[in-house]
Amino acid sequence: MSALFTPSRLGSLELPNRIVVSPMCQYCADDGRANSWHLAHLGGLAQSGAGMLVVEATAVEPAGRITPGCLGLWDDETEAALRPVVSLVRENSNMVLAMQIAHAGRKASSAVPWKGGAFLPSGEGGWTTYGPSAIPQKPGETAPVALDVDGLSRIKRQFVETARRADRLGFDALELHAAHGYLLHQFLSPISNQRTDDYGGSLQNRMRYVLEVYDAVREMFPAHKPVGVKISATDWVDGGWDIDQSVALARALQSRGVAWITASSGGISPAQKITVGPGYQVPFAERIKAETGATTMAVGLITEPAQAEEIVASGKADFVAIARGMLYDPRWAWHAAAELGGVVSAAPQYWRAPPHGYAHLFGDIVHGAR
């Protein structure tokens, strides 16, 4: 039997396979509100055959958006806008549905990628940004406001409030975004965090805010619903956050019952030097899993079914999370199942889709028609 298509558990959740649709920003929300694009996009991915679908990074407050088009869940309006999206997925799919919740910190107030992605000053549609220290992402940009104790408490409360709304909407799981140079990652990295209080300096101090936010979300979110964390395992910059510190963070999270750790990398500085290749981030997930026992998700240029199969079968990671590959091929899991001899779920409207020789791709079902 294919390892990739072996059922597994995340906390109390039963996943039919080890494929996860990674959260992918769409940059097209209306002041944080989901719209018809999200209905079409997530409705389609709900038929991907993956075991779990994770909704894109969702800001916990307006200032926490990466761009003006980023999705949010911070008030009744943003919650109401997401409700029909969740209902659509639920009515047409039985897959596990998760949400990634996030705050962009100093990387907020940026143009959407197809308009260059540059920092937006306040007079050009941007807003005040926040970070652990008053250090901009790039030289020449407006520095973020260094968060004081009240600011830290406010944002932590917003994470909890967003988690409460996600539970009310019926999401099965949450992932805290502590990667890619966004706020929680900014506290971890000595490149962006140069505080001299209890939240800066030593490794334990730099991990403090991430762990506080995790604890607060975990305490509020129902115990039977798992909470995972996405991290950047290394900054790819000398003197920055690295894999050794990531292992220490993973141990601290594991002791708190974290459901999974997604091991990505980079994003804290334009000075990063990354050697990119197929599966280039898999060793991070492998080491974290080996040294801490945490359930891990591998990401990063995982494009071929045989590649994903080897990652899971060899024990390098428990799951593979596919992002751009799913945008390019929303039926990636179908094609992987066909190649590896697996079975996936699909709506009955699609049961006649498999080509000759793959009649049992969707299991023991009837394909007949008059």
CATH code for the domain of 86: 3.20.20.70
CA atoms of 202 and 208, how far apart (whole Å): 10
Asked if residues 151 and 209 have their Cβ atoms less than 8 Å apart, the reply is no
72 residue type, one letter:
G
Is 360 a member of any domain? no
Instruction: Tell me the pLDDT band of 357, cut-offs 50, 70 and 90.
Output: confident
CA atoms of 220 and 237, how far apart (whole Å): 36
Q: Provide the residue range defining the domain that includes 279.
A: 8-350
Is 240 a member of any domain? yes
Residue pLDDT, tens place only, 40-64: 999 999 999 999 999 999 999 999 9
Active site residue 182: yes
Which pLDDT score, from 0 to 100, does residue 368 have? Answer: 53
Which pLDDT score, from 0 to 100, does residue 198 have? Answer: 98
Annotated catalytic residue within 130, 182, 199, 214:
182
Question: pLDDT averaged over the chain?
Answer: 96
Is 357 a member of any domain? no
Global pTM?
A: 0.95
Which pLDDT score, from 0 to 100, does residue 11 have? Answer: 87
Q: Tell me how many domains the chain contains.
A: 1
DSSP 136: -
Mean pLDDT computed over 351-370: 73
Instruction: Tell me the pLDDT band of 1, cut-offs 50, 70 and 90.
Output: confident
Q: Which structure tokens are listed for 73?
A: 């869940």
Is 45 a member of any domain? yes
Residue pLDDT, tens place only, 235-287: 999 999 999 999 999 999 999 999 999 999 999 999 999 989 999 999 999 99
Is 220 a member of any domain? yes
Residue pLDDT, tens place only, 173-203: 999 999 999 999 999 999 999 999 999 999 9
Is 233 a member of any domain? yes
Is 50 a member of any domain? yes
Is 173 a member of any domain? yes
Residue pLDDT, tens place only, 109-150: 999 999 999 999 988 999 999 999 999 999 999 999 999 999
Asked if residues 42 and 86 have their Cβ atoms less than 8 Å apart, the reply is no
Instruction: Tell me the pLDDT band of 370, cut-offs 50, 70 and 90.
Output: very low
